[in-house]
Amino acid sequence: MLFGAHLSAAGGLLPAIDRASDVGAEVIQVHTQSPRVWKPNAYSPELLAEFAQRVREHPHVVSTVCHASYLINLASPDPELLEKSRACLVKNLEVATLMGAFGLVLHLGSHRGVGFDEVLGGVALELERALDHAEDLLGGPSCRLLMENTAGAGGTLGRSFTELARVLEAAGGDPRLGICLDTQHLFASGVSYESLDDADEVVRGFDEAIGLERLGCLHLNDSKVPCGSNRDRHENLGEGLIGRRALGSLLGHPALQTLAAVLEVPGPERNGPTASDLAAARAIHTAGLRRWRRRAGAGSTPQLRRAPQQVRDGRTGSRRGRSPAGAPSQRER
Ligand SMILES: [Zn+2]
Ligand SMILES: [Zn+2]
């Protein structure tokens, strides 16, 4: 398992790589643009290529994942907002791909009370169109689009494995689509994973509903709010209501070990993850692994159908071109 950190690119894209390295992150997550304004960033293709190159050559930071703008709502009933969302998503996909990111994490948006079934077809169509459009602009495959599970507030889309599975199905199982599983959102949506058995049930439930090969990365956060509260409130690891034991149960699961776990925690100074947060993540992971090994020694190793795709640099297979993301290319360390 690789550990990463969401970092602000406000001080520039390239300096963010050094900060990732300073805090001990192997994976860097950045927003492709300022997340709360429509205006896209002004990154030149040369800068994006340089970012990709620096990460490729970096001794410690080995891969990138991007996070799309929070303003995107693919289910917006407002034609103007929908049009803005479309353009924004295409741009975000383009930037993420040029940065060499293995994925772009997206919140699908909210149906604003209209109902999930009502918007499902439209959202799936928007996802496919955005990927097609980005690939046209790029003249090649886009990075994978990773739909994030939500805490379940209001009309947010993707509040359960079933909802995410239905979006994938409505998009014809488009191989360019994957999932980002956020531990805080999962907990807030009403799923607890305190024991190894609970965590195993979560992983199996994901595999059955969606398929583990779709799981592109984890967002690793503790929670300020209780299980089932449906609120998106991240807390530092071990300082929230999920706690070290539950996080360890999930992180140590044998089926998740090829994934990246990216911290989106407030950090001790409330300005993002620090070295101590990354150290806490690794300690929780190690303790979780130990418990899983002890259990395997006792003779009950979980058997799962498929493995998640490994963390990788660069582009996924194009739907229109090569077969989807075959052999992952996690860099030799
Ligand atoms: Zn997110
Ligand atoms: Zn997240």
Give the tens place of pLDDT for each residue, 202-236.
Answer: 999 999 999 999 999 999 999 999 999 999 999 99
191-214: burial string, b at 16+ Cβ within 10 Å, e else: bbbbebeebbebbbebbebbbbbb
Decide: residue 28, CB within 10 A, 0-12 exposed, 13-18 middle, 19+ buried: buried
Which residues, including other chains, have CB under 8 Å from residue 183's CB and lie 6 or more apart? 218, 219, 220, 221, 222, 242, 247, 250
- What is the 219 CA–ligand 2 centroid distance (Å)? 5
C-beta separation of 252 from 285 below 8 A: yes
Split into its structural domains, the chain has a count of 1
- What is the 301 CA–ligand 1 centroid distance (Å)? 31
- What is the 182 CA–ligand 2 centroid distance (Å)? 5
Tell whether 312 is covered by a domain: no
Tell whether 327 is covered by a domain: no
Q: What mean pLDDT, rounded, does the chain reach?
A: 92
Tell whether 152 is covered by a domain: yes
Q: Which domain holds residue 122?
A: 2-297
168: Cα separation from own chain's centroid:
16
Ranked by mean pLDDT, the top range of 192-196, 313-317, 318-322 is: 192-196
Give the tens place of pLDDT for each residue, 154-163.
Answer: 899 999 999 9
Q: Which ligand is nearest to the CA of 68?
A: 1
Give the tens place of pLDDT for each residue, 27-51.
Answer: 999 999 988 889 988 899 999 999 9
Tokens of 258: 């090829």
Residue 329 is predicted with a pLDDT of 40
Residue 323 is predicted with a pLDDT of 34
Helix or strand run (H / E) with residue 135: helix 116-138
Give the tens place of pLDDT for each residue, 163-185.
Answer: 999 999 999 999 999 999 999 99
**Residue 320 pLDDT > 60:** no
Tokens of 281: 């993540």
Tokens of 257: 């070990």
- What is the 297 CA–ligand 1 centroid distance (Å)? 36
Q: How far is residue 123's CA from residue 119's CA, in Å, rounded to a whole number?
A: 6
Q: How far is residue 257's CA from residue 259's CA, in Å, rounded to a whole number?
A: 5
Tell whether 96 is covered by a domain: yes
Which among 62, 48, 85, 80 is positioned nearest to 4, based on CA atoms?
Answer: 62
Which CATH number characterizes residue 40's domain? 3.20.20.150
- What is the 153 CA–ligand 2 centroid distance (Å)? 14
- What is the 66 CA–ligand 2 centroid distance (Å)? 11
Alpha helices in 171-312 (DSSP H): 183-188, 196-209, 243-251, 275-297
Q: Which ligand is nearest to the CA of 263?
A: 2
Tell whether 192 is covered by a domain: yes
- What is the 328 CA–ligand 1 centroid distance (Å)? 24
- Taking residues 273-301, report their average pLDDT: 93
175: Cα separation from own chain's centroid:
16
In this predicted model, which residue has the larger pLDDT, 110 or 42?
110
Helix or strand run (H / E) with residue 132: helix 116-138
Tell whether 136 is covered by a domain: yes
Give the Cβ contact number of residue 40 at 10 Å.
16
Q: Which ligand is nearest to the CA of 261?
A: 2
Residue 331 is predicted with a pLDDT of 43
Which among 221, 220, 218 is positioned nearest to 309, based on CA atoms?
Answer: 218
Tell whether 175 is covered by a domain: yes
Q: Which ligand is nearest to the CA of 67?
A: 1
Q: What is the DSSP string of 79-115?
A: HHHHHHHHHHHHHHHHHHHHTT-SEEEE---B-TTS-
Q: Residue 332's pLDDT band (boundaries 50, 70, 90)? A: very low
Residue 298 is predicted with a pLDDT of 80
Q: Which ligand is nearest to the CA of 70?
A: 1
Tell whether 44 is covered by a domain: yes
- What is the 107 CA–ligand 1 centroid distance (Å)? 6
**Residue 319 pLDDT > 50:** no
- What is the 297 CA–ligand 2 centroid distance (Å)? 33
Q: Residue 303's pLDDT band (boundaries 50, 70, 90)? A: low
**Residue 327 pLDDT > 60:** no
- What is the 254 CA–ligand 1 centroid distance (Å)? 24
The DSSP secondary-structure symbol of 161 reads H
Tokens of 75: 């289910």
Q: Which ligand is nearest to the CA of 104?
A: 1
Give the tens place of pLDDT for each residue, 241-256.
Answer: 999 999 999 999 999 9
- What is the 184 CA–ligand 1 centroid distance (Å)? 10
Q: How far is residue 48's CA from residue 57's CA, in Å, rounded to a whole number?
A: 14
- What is the 67 CA–ligand 1 centroid distance (Å)? 7
- Taking residues 100-114, report their average pLDDT: 96
- What is the 39 CA–ligand 2 centroid distance (Å)? 22
Q: How far is residue 68's CA from residue 90's CA, in Å, rounded to a whole number?
A: 10
- What is the 105 CA–ligand 1 centroid distance (Å)? 7
Q: Residue 300's pLDDT band (boundaries 50, 70, 90)? A: low
- What is the 92 CA–ligand 1 centroid distance (Å)? 14
Q: Which ligand is nearest to the CA of 234?
A: 2
